[in-house]
Structure 1
Amino acid sequence: MELNSDQIKEILPHRYPFLLVDRITACEPGKYADGRKCVSVNEMQFCGHFPQQAVMPGVLVLEALAQTGAVALLTEEENKGKLVFFGGVKQARFRKQIVPGDVIELHTEIIARKGPVGFGKATATVDGKIAVSAELSFAIAEPESRN
């Protein structure tokens, strides 16, 4: 399954400037998702992270990987309309700087589930080289009614 940015917005609640996945290139619901993030110099974080030498913040790459994993979970029939919250990060490694002009290939595989909690292995690559890897956890929840 492939999803464009409009279709991703039907699944994830994130919006500009915090929707960090431009396209889902492959997805098996509940198992994995592959995504793509095209890094542009016009993004807000580059105003301050580092103005003289723009570098994509590692925490935003982790968030993009988490959003990719959330798509894998939220495309399962039983999770449609729910939310996925970032539960935690373990073993994060930052191996390569990501800069404007780079295209980040995102891969998050759901490796275990325990009730509403999921665990994933995530990798972000640029030009075939690993830039970021981490173990992520997710919590699936019903959206709150805010009347």
Structure 2
Amino acid sequence: MKIMDAQEIMDLIPNRYPICYIDYVDELIAGQKIVATKNVTINEDFFRGHFPGNPVMPGVLIIETLAQAASILILKSEEFLGKTAYLGAIHKAKFRKVVRPGDVLKLEITMVKKKENIGIVQTQALVDGQKACTAELMFVVAERDEKI
């Protein structure tokens, strides 16, 4: 069941095509947990160069996809509504499985800590129930038009 579709996601976070990677949100407990989906297709721009004849989703874009799902979780928290979440740090990132066209990335993010304008989340990207990537991400939250 879809809790949020692509348009609702774009209403919340600033990412747009071709770098809005979340297709929909499956589950959301504001301030606690989110499960979101990214359908990986051969039509993605990055597959033209990474790698010709052997398409693989770049690890940095898996992290970006996790960060977008995490920012939805953070910005759905009551104290951060109407703000913007900026990725501040990536810790303990591990890549365990290659992600290819046709895969469905299930993104599971759990809030670890919220303090003032900081959010820390534990993330994992799964393909067919197997971990493709795990990481701890830290976000700085600011007003939408404020520069940090």
Give the TM-score of the pair, scaled to structure 2. Answer: 0.94
Aligned equivalents of 2:96, 2:78: Cα separation in 1: 36
Task: Indicate conservation of the 8 Å contact 1:66/1:108, yes or no.
Answer: no
Give the count of matched residue pairs. Answer: 146
Change (3 A) 1:65 1:76: same
1:137 maps to amino acid: M
1:1-147 paired onto structure 2 within 5 Å: 2-144=3-145
Aligned equivalents of 1:47, 1:10: Cα separation in 2: 29
Which runs of 5 or more residues in structure 2 are unaligned?
A: none
Per-residue CA deviations over 1:83-130 (Å, capped at 9, x if unaligned) read 000111111000000000000000111101221011110000000100
Which range moved further: 106-115 or 95-104? 106-115
Per-residue CA deviations over 1:46-87 (Å, capped at 9, x if unaligned) read 111101100001111111111111111111233222100011
1:128 maps to amino acid: G
1:105 maps to amino acid: K
Give the TM-score of the pair, scaled to structure 1. Answer: 0.95
Aligned equivalents of 1:77, 1:90: Cα separation in 2: 26
- Could you list the structure 1 runs, at least 4 aligned residues long, displaced by more than 2 angstroms after superposition: none
SS at match of 1:52: coil
Alignment root-mean-square deviation, CA = 1.4
